[in-house]
Homo-oligomer: A and B are copies of this chain.
Amino acid sequence: MTATLTGVGVGPGDPELITVRAVRILREADVVFVPVLDRPEGARAAGRAETTIAPYVPSERLRRLPFALDDRGGVTERRESAWNAAAQAVATAVDDGARTLAFATIGDPNVYSTFGYLAQSLRALRPAVAVHTVPGITAMQELAARSGVPLCEGREPLTLLPATAGLALFADAVAGPGTVVAYKGWRRHAELLAELRRQGRLSDAVLGSGLGLTGDRVGPAAEAGDDPPYLSTLLVPARRDRRGGKL
């Protein structure tokens, strides 16, 4: 039997926002890997993926893989080492007899996820291992549901971008005809809000801070304060006038 590694999206952090398929794959897996922040000092807390799937997977089948999730600025040596070590850990589990392996990742494994790099690294090491993914609910979908603001209607385009991609890209997208969602606006929060104010789009914008964490907050971006956490999601809806106006 060929071994299979499945990247399983577990959604924004609420154990109820995981799909029936994801639950099945996690329950059937011989080993379930979860990413954990690699802290040089050694103290590793459970990550969000791990706490999200806790109701479904007994802890003895979980294995933590440390990643340099807090690195910035491209492919650092620490990041590459972590990808390689993670792929090696998966390969070793396969060599030890595991046939169904899963990797739980917050959100969706095909949306800004570490899983893609792990999958590429594993393909180089063990090309015979089949790689699959199971989609998961993203933070922008959770923010739309929690705030009551649709992501896109009719002919509106939707642009999703990380604030790390730069302010020019954000400003261009906001100047367009559609909805814009920015992830990880943490360090650029004041700049993003100033740009929205300049373009007359601040009043409709909503912010989700720390979505999926205890004490998360959803509300008008204009009232959100100046210091959102790292995992913030900013939703700027297209200009909408009447029911179905964008059809």
Contacts and interface: CB of A to CB of B under 8 A. Distances in A.
Interface of A: 9, 11, 14-21, 23-24, 73-75, 79-80, 83, 108-113, 116-117, 120-121, 131-138, 141-142, 144-145, 148-162, 164-166, 169, 173, 177-178, 243-245, 247
B151 A155 contact: no
A142 B144 CA distance: 19
Contact of A17 (B19, B74, B177): B19
- How many chain copies does the complex carry? 2
Given A16-B20, A18-B19, A145-B134, A178 B161 contact: yes
Nearest to A244: B75
B144 A133 contact: yes
Nearest to A23: B20
A11 B19 contact: yes
A80 B244 CA distance: 9
Contacts of A134: 145
A119 to B, nearest CB: 9
Contact of A132 (B133, B145, B154, B160): B145
Nearest to A179: B160
Contact of A157 (B75, B117, B148, B161): B161
A244 B18 contact: no
